[in-house]
Amino acid sequence: MAIAQSWWRLALVCAVFAGAAAVLGWKGALFGARPVLRAALRATVQLAAVSSVVAVVLLSVPLSWLFLAVMATVATATAATRTGTGWRGAWVAVAVLGGTAPAMAVLLGSSLLPMRGTTLVPVGGILLGGAMTASTLAVRRVLDALEQRRGEFEAALALGFTEPEAVRELVRRAAADALLPALDQTRTVGLVTLPGAFVGMVLGGAPAWQAGALQLVVLLGLLLVESIAIVAVVELVAHGLVRRPREMV
């Protein structure tokens, strides 16, 4: 491919993209340039490292499962860090894995997903990424809503609601917003975007209909994974397992 034959162009375009994003965020007083540049650097290093080992990993089913375990750990740690809940963020693992594990079990049990490294790692990674994103968004939105509506929360308790009941009533709408990216991606697939699974299969020589079928399964699997993750987050917050220190009651 042209990208593989023009490394200097690849480096230049990546530098322009990352630099422009950093400058825009800084000039717009939205976020600092450092997080963008750090993320770009990390992506470069991590992809270089993964590219050097993934060919070996994909040849072995046990190594593929081990690689997925590492991915799940990183996904959980990333989501937990973003919540600002300290050690309690570890409970986010329930949301991340609670959605991904059943979806993978269905795919493997139905034989739609062959027990091969070349399928386990890509599909598992997509599902874990969706669960991570949904969990992060859900926790942040739910905890923000709970903080902003503190008076309503206390009023609900005074009216006889239990703490879990009061939390659920106040945060459901905020939590539901975390599913919007997945819903929009599913609604517009083929019209606005051609997701990675579809493009990868087509570039690999698979018939377009097979690529489309796989992409449909992945998209609907993501909806399930992220729905479970969001519901799990609501319950974790409702039962006080995930809270910011200042929100402990």
pLDDT of residue 161: 86
Instruction: Please determine, for residue 248, whether its predicted confidence score (pLDDT) is greater than 60.
Output: no
- CB of 120 closer than 8 Å to CB of 67: no
**Closest by alpha carbon to 166, among 139, 141, 140, 145?**
145
Residue 127's pLDDT band (cuts 50, 70, 90): very high
How far, in Å, are 49, 71, 83, 201 from residue 171 at the CA level? Answer: 40, 29, 16, 40
The amino acid at residue 112 is: L
Percent of the chain past pLDDT 70, that is, above it, reads 84
pLDDT at site 69:
92
pLDDT, tens digit, 9 for 90 and up, residues 4-23: 556 777 788 888 888 888 88
Shortest CA distance to 61 belongs to which of 123, 122, 116?
116
Average pLDDT over residues 70-87: 81
CA-based radius of gyration for the chain: 20
What mean pLDDT do residues 87-110 have? 87
Q: Which is more confidently placed, 207 or 39?
A: 39
Q: How far is CA 52 from the centre of its chain?
A: 24
For the segment 168-179, the average pLDDT, to the nearest whole number, is 89
pLDDT of residue 5: 56
Residue 85 has pLDDT above 80, yes or no: no
Per cent of the chain over pLDDT 90 is 14
Please compute the mean of the pLDDT values over residues 66-88 and round it to a whole number.
Answer: 82
Alpha carbons 94 and 97: distance in angstroms, whole number: 6
pLDDT of amino acid 152? 87
pLDDT confidence bin for 206, thresholds 50/70/90: low
Provide mean pLDDT across the span 77-83.
Answer: 81
Please tell me the predicted confidence (pLDDT) of residue 201: 57
